[in-house]
Amino acid sequence: MAQQELEIGQTADFTKTVTEADVVLFAGITGDLNPAHVDQVWADASRFGGRIAHGMLSASFISTVLAMKMPGPGTIYLSQNLRFTGPVKIGDTVTARVEVAEVMPKRRVRLLTTVTRHDGTQVIDGEAVVIAP
Amino acid sequence: MAQQELEIGQTADFTKTVTEADVVLFAGITGDLNPAHVDQVWADASRFGGRIAHGMLSASFISTVLAMKMPGPGTIYLSQNLRFTGPVKIGDTVTARVEVAEVMPKRRVRLLTTVTRHDGTQVIDGEAVVIAP
Amino acid sequence: MAQQELEIGQTADFTKTVTEADVVLFAGITGDLNPAHVDQVWADASRFGGRIAHGMLSASFISTVLAMKMPGPGTIYLSQNLRFTGPVKIGDTVTARVEVAEVMPKRRVRLLTTVTRHDGTQVIDGEAVVIAP
Amino acid sequence: MAQQELEIGQTADFTKTVTEADVVLFAGITGDLNPAHVDQVWADASRFGGRIAHGMLSASFISTVLAMKMPGPGTIYLSQNLRFTGPVKIGDTVTARVEVAEVMPKRRVRLLTTVTRHDGTQVIDGEAVVIAP
């Protein structure tokens, strides 16, 4: 969407189940083989009681909403602030949601960005600034 | 490393060439099929003159340094702020670097985080707060 | 590590859970679609009672320790002998371990190399010769 | 093939081009992110003058021939000795070949195993012992 079609309070979202294959591939692409992600024995004994997904994997679903839905294809990412507030385990279904917070000069848009587990627990909050297409 | 081994100014880094395979897999895992990443014809005509990698892919290499090098395995991510300051094209070699900025109570550590292309151009800057192992 | 930092008896290791995704991807990369790895019906009726990982996948974790930990980045692989002494099932967590056995002229190092399941069963033993960085 | 169908001197082979995607995925599965494989700038300055494939990736094609062709599906791997005699660069086409060297009691078979680049340079030699199906 062009910037003039965006109004404060508009939302868009994307939902995905985080599978073991996602975590294996994400570890491979990034080189982040933290035992919390790739060593089930270590992870079972950790504070999370099992393997968790990379925080940046869940955060990436925010980028997916921005690029695919609102503002949509052609969006340019300027900044993203992230607070990681809970873990995502393999098998969890999460929803990334963005909400227009401010429409600024030069096609800039500020959005509130969250990722939430299916049980309602927020796992990421923060905000993004983008250039609308 | 435990928090008491960390000193302000200490750095660690990770370098990787961002390949087409990385971008294809990242698009598949995240669902972010922005034409800037997956449509070469569209991308060639865009302001970047070619396909670029997802900003969150480059950002994820920061997580790799935190988890694999400093503070290392067992690190828990609390927050990450990101400013995207330049594009990464397919084939670019990038270096993610973290530098200890503050050692805080309760094993918290604040780090300056950057990602830089091999030609010296900074593509991401920002900062992270983690719990050291 | 440079060769002069290595002493007989020094060890390093790497632990990873072998997931179904790992086996599927390894089969795809190598073309080894042995029914023991990709045909659950066949594998359930086999002597192993289920799908097993490729022996060379478990063996590759030895290369990971050599390249990432000891001697570390820049190591050149000269030879590797492998005896496969037990199966690794999908879901098993395995540890590859290397131990310096001999420090030789011309930066050569000989290492004992094993892969062990979490239950303590050795699945690979053998030895490697490398050129230290 | 059953063991009684195997004769000394029989051969089988498998040929594959080693692509960048193969190397990226192999690095991810194994955790071996040696800069020789994933950092083009480092690799260009190394003795090999470019990124090379993991030695164990090329070695795995031997397993492919054993499992898919001779002796074929159901083969059990007992041992594999490997000498790495040359590098494989991304884009090289390699052929893994096995040749029956000895037919032994209890369905054991010993085979000579090589991997050769398309230009004729041998990159791996060694031998395997397997149980025929």
Position A2 scores a pLDDT of 79
Residue the block writes with tokens 């370098």: B15
Tens-place pLDDT, residues B73-122: 889 999 999 999 999 999 999 999 999 999 999 999 999 999 999 999 99
Task: Give yes or no for C122 touching A (CB within 8 A).
Answer: no
D75 contacts C32? CB cut-off 8 A: no
- CB proximity B16 to D under 8 Å: yes
Residues of A in contact with B34 (CB under 8 A): 67-68, 73-75
Residues paired with A79 in a beta bridge = A129, B83
Distance from C-alpha of A31 to C-alpha of B63, rounded to nearest angstrom: 9
**Closest by Cβ to C59, choosing from D28, D56, D83:** D56
Report angle CA C118, C121, C122 to the nearest 5 degrees.
110
- Residue located via tokens 């995240």: B30
Determine contact: D42 vs chain B, CB below 8 A: yes
Contact D29 C31 (CB under 8 A): no
Give tens-digit pLDDT for C41-55.
Answer: 999 999 899 999 999
Q: Mean pLDDT in chain C?
A: 95
Q: Read off the pLDDT of residues C92-119 as tens digits, 9 standing for 90 and up.
A: 999 999 999 999 999 999 999 999 999 9
**Is the pLDDT at B23 greater than 90, yes or no?**
yes
Q: Which residue of D has its CA nearest to C30?
A: D61
The answer to whether the Cβ–Cβ distance between B15 and D40 falls below 8 Å is: no
- Count how many domains chain A has: 1
pLDDT classification of B5: cutoffs 50, 70, 90: confident
Q: Three-state secondary structure along chain C?
A: CCHHHCCCCCEEEEEEECCHHHHHHHHHHHCCCCHHHHCHHHHHCCCCCCCECCHHHHHHHHHHHHHHCCCCCCCEEEEEEEEECCCCECCCEEEEEEEEEEECCCCEEEEEEEEEECCCCEEEEEEEEEECC
- Cα–Cα distance measured from residue C72 to residue D69, given in angstroms and rounded to the nearest whole number: 36
Beta bridge partners of B127: B81, B112
**A32, A74, A75 member nearest B64 (Cβ):** A32
Residue D127, domain extent: 3-131
Residue position matching structure tokens 């795995």: D60
| ipTM score assigned to the predicted complex | 0.95
Q: Strand A11-17 vs strand A93-103: parallel, antiparallel, or unpaired? A: antiparallel
Q: Which of B13, B14, B19, B25 has the highest number of chain D CBs within 10 A, making it the mutation to test binding with D?
A: B19
Q: Quick one: average pLDDT of B43-61?
A: 95
Which of A19, A25, A35 has the CB atom closest to C15's CB atom? A35
Structure tokens at C78: 């000269």
Instruction: Tell me which residue of C59, C51, C44, C55 sits closest to D130, measured CA to CA.
Output: C55
- Which of B43, B131, B33, B126 lies closest to B88, judged by CA? B43
Q: How far is CA A107 from CA A66, A77, D53, in A?
A: 14, 12, 45
Q: What is the pLDDT of residues B117-126, one digit of tens each?
A: 999 999 999 9
pLDDT, residue D1, reads 75
Contact B65, B97 (CB under 8 A): yes
**Which domain CATH number covers A37?**
3.10.129.10
Rounded to a whole number of angstroms, the distance from the CA of B30 to the nearest CA of chain A is 6
Task: Tell me how close the Cα of C119 comes to any Cα of chain D, in angstroms.
Answer: 21
Mean pLDDT by 10 residues, chain A (133 residues): 87 97 96 95 94 97 96 94 97 97 96 97 98 92
Interface residue C22 vs chain D (CB under 8 A): yes
Residues on chain A touching B36 (C-beta within 8 angstroms) = 67, 74
Rounded to an integer, the average pLDDT of B31-38 is 94
Tokens 């371990």 sit on residue: C97
C119-125 long-range Cβ contacts below 8 angstroms, 24+ apart: C121/C86, C122/C85, C122/C86, C123/C58, C123/C84, C123/C85, C123/C86, C123/C87, C123/C88, C123/C94, C124/C55, C124/C58, C124/C59, C124/C62, C124/C82, C124/C83, C124/C84, C124/C85, C125/C82, C125/C83, C125/C85
- DSSP 3-state assignment of A88? coil
CA distance C16 to chain A (A): 5
Distance between CA atoms of residues C94 and C87, nearest Å: 11
Alpha-carbon gap: A46 to the closest alpha carbon of chain B (Å) = 9
Coil, strand or helix: which one is A29? Answer: helix
Q: Name the minimum distance, in Å, from the CA of A30 to any CA of chain B.
A: 6
Q: Name the stretches of chain D with pLDDT < 50.
A: none
From the list C16, C20, C25, which residue is nearest A39 (CB)?
Answer: C16
Q: How far apart are CA A9 and CA D103, in angstroms?
A: 75
DSSP for D22-44, please give it: HHHHHHHHH----HHHH-HHHHH
Structural contact between residues B92 and B55, judged by C-beta atoms closer than 8 angstroms: no
**How far apart (Å, rounded) are the C-alpha atoms in residues B75 and B106?**
13
CB nearest to D27's CB, from A24, A28, A38? A28
State the pLDDT at residue C40: 94
